[in-house]
């Protein structure tokens, strides 16, 4: 944020932004790009003309149902894409070919090969390509990664997460592609590693066409496993991840209004030599720490970082390669899902 404000104070022209897609997530992006210093929300584009009345009233920007208007306007330096996942590749590729920087909501694309095309296009044209893995800008998630890297949790045994709710039922993509990318990106980020293999199972409860619920297991190096439960068919809204280590354990509850992170001074580890054929274990249980975090809006941090990368040319934290890694996990998981939960190695998908 500071870098963006500094650019504005230095007299640099704000970055012209066009938002494509004003459905579920688009209004949040529009709000942030409208309010951020160093940003000029010039367009909101949506195929539904009725949806455009709101952004025109709220932000005073131009609106259009024709994406070509954005691509042809030299005042638009960057495009933020918040449309259905199956349209991401076509829209992002067109923007990059038109010389625009691109922020794409997750997932980057629905195909690994298409993601690589976008990465290559951005590199060839020296453009910023960024993916909206918003939880990597969340102070709570960053705290967990720092704690793991500092060794505070000891050896990491396993992680598990639940991201469930009753609502936003979708019919074009399943819960794996719609919901699970959040927790996949968090797991890859906090462990700073890519899983070696995955297993995924799910159920088509409502329309028989897409899985409304999935259970995904990621197998990381070092015998670390991560289990993800994602669904839009559940009685309660839960967004929680638990990380279990040999020395300490962390529970991250994104829905909690206070104490989003709790650090439990609890653990278990093997000690000494084998006695009479049995290992000896030491258990300990201490205090619970609720760290004080500066809980700025993660999406605002993400949008500000996008603007900063455009201005400075620096590589985004969630760049195209980041999006590709998550997509590799999704592709392998989809293959496992279609094979009734068979274990699939990454690279085999």
SS3 category, 9? helix
133: its two tokens: 């893995």
Task: Please say whether the beta carbons of 226 and 245 come within 8 A.
Answer: no
Amino acid 7: pLDDT: 43
Q: How far is CA 245 from CA 62, 143, 249, 261, 303, in A?
A: 51, 15, 5, 15, 33
Amino acid 2: pLDDT: 33
Beta bridge partners of 239: 163
Domains of the chain: 2-135+299-316 (3.40.50.720), 139-297+329-345 (3.30.360.10)
Furthest CA-CA distance within the chain: 77
Closest listed residue to residue 161, CA positions, set 139, 144, 137, 149: 144
Amino acid 282: pLDDT: 74
Q: What CA–CA distance (Å, rounded) separates 136 from 19?
A: 21
Note down pLDDT in tens along the chain; length 349 residues: 333 333 444 567 899 999 999 999 999 999 999 999 999 999 999 999 999 999 999 999 999 999 999 999 999 999 999 999 999 999 999 999 999 999 999 999 999 999 999 999 999 999 999 999 999 999 999 999 999 999 999 999 999 999 999 988 998 899 999 999 999 999 999 999 999 999 999 999 999 999 999 999 999 999 999 999 999 999 999 999 999 999 999 999 999 988 899 999 988 777 655 555 556 677 777 789 999 998 789 999 999 999 999 999 999 999 999 999 999 999 999 999 999 999 999 976 5
Amino acid 277: pLDDT: 52
189: its two tokens: 């980020």
Q: What CA–CA distance (Å, rounded) separates 127 from 219?
A: 34
Q: What CA–CA distance (Å, rounded) separates 180 from 163?
A: 8
Count Cβ neighbours within 10 Å for each residue of 41-62 and write b for 16 or more, e otherwise.
bbbbbbeeeebbebbeeebebb
pTM of the model: 0.92
- CB-count exposure of residue 154 (10 Å: 0-12, 13-18, 19+): middle
Amino acid 9: pLDDT: 44
Q: How far is CA 257 from CA 49, 138, 253, 261, in A?
A: 37, 15, 9, 11
Positions of E strands within 197-296: 197-203, 213-220, 224-231, 233-245, 249-253, 261-275, 278-289
Cis peptide before 107 (omega within 30 of 0): yes
Q: What CA–CA distance (Å, rounded) separates 98 from 87?
A: 17
Beta bridge partners of 320: none
Closest listed residue to residue 271, CA positions, set 261, 283, 259, 263: 283
Q: What CA–CA distance (Å, rounded) separates 148 from 220?
A: 15
Positions of E strands within the chain: 15-20, 39-45, 62-64, 78-81, 101-105, 129-132, 156-166, 197-203, 213-220, 224-231, 233-245, 249-253, 261-275, 278-289, 344-345
Amino acid 39: pLDDT: 96
Q: What CA–CA distance (Å, rounded) separates 42 from 100?
A: 14
Task: Please say whether the beta carbons of 127 and 118 come within 8 A.
Answer: no
């Amino acid at each position: 944020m500071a870098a963006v404000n500094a650019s504005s104070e230095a007299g640099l022209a704000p970055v012209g932004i066009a938002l494509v897609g004003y459905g579920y997530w688009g209004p949040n992006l529009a709000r942030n790009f409208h309010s951020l210093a160093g940003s000029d929300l010039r367009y909101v584009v949506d195929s539904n003309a009725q949806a455009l009345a709101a952004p025109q009233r709220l932000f005073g920007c131009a609106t259009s149902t024709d994406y070509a208007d954005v691509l042809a306007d030299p005042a638009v330096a960057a495009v933020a894409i918040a449309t259905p996942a199956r349209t991401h590749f076509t829209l992002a590729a067109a923007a990059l070919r038109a010389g625009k920087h691109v922020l794409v909501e997750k997932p980057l694309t629905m195909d690994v090969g298409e993601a690589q095309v976008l990465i290559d296009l951005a590199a060839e044209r020296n453009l910023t390509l960024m993916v909206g893995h918003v939880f990597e800008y969340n102070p709570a998630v960053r705290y967990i990664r720092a704690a793991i890297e500092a060794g505070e949790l000891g050896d990491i045994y396993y992680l598990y997460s639940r991201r469930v709710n009753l609502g936003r039922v979708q019919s074009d993509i399943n819960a794996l592609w719609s919901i699970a990318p959040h927790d996949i990106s968090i797991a890859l980020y906090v462990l700073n590693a890519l899983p070696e293999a995955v297993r995924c199972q799910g159920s088509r409860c409502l329309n028989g066409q897409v899985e409304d619920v999935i259970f995904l297991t990621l197998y990381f190096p070092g015998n670390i496993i991560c289990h993800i439960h994602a669904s839009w068919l559940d009685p309660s809204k839960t967004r929680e991840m638990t990380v279990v280590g040999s020395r300490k354990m962390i529970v991250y509850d994104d829905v909690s209004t206070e104490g989003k992170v709790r650090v439990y001074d609890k653990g278990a580890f093997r000690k000494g030599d084998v006695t009479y054929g049995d290992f000896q274990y030491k258990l300990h249980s201490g205090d619970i720490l609720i760290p004080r975090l500066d809980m700025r809006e993660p999406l605002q941090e993400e949008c500000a970082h996008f603007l900063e990368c455009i201005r400075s040319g620096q590589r985004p934290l969630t760049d195209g390669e980041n999006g590709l890694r998550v997509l590799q996990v999704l592709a392998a998981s989809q293959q496992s899902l279609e094979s009734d939960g068979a274990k699939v190695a990454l690279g085999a998908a």
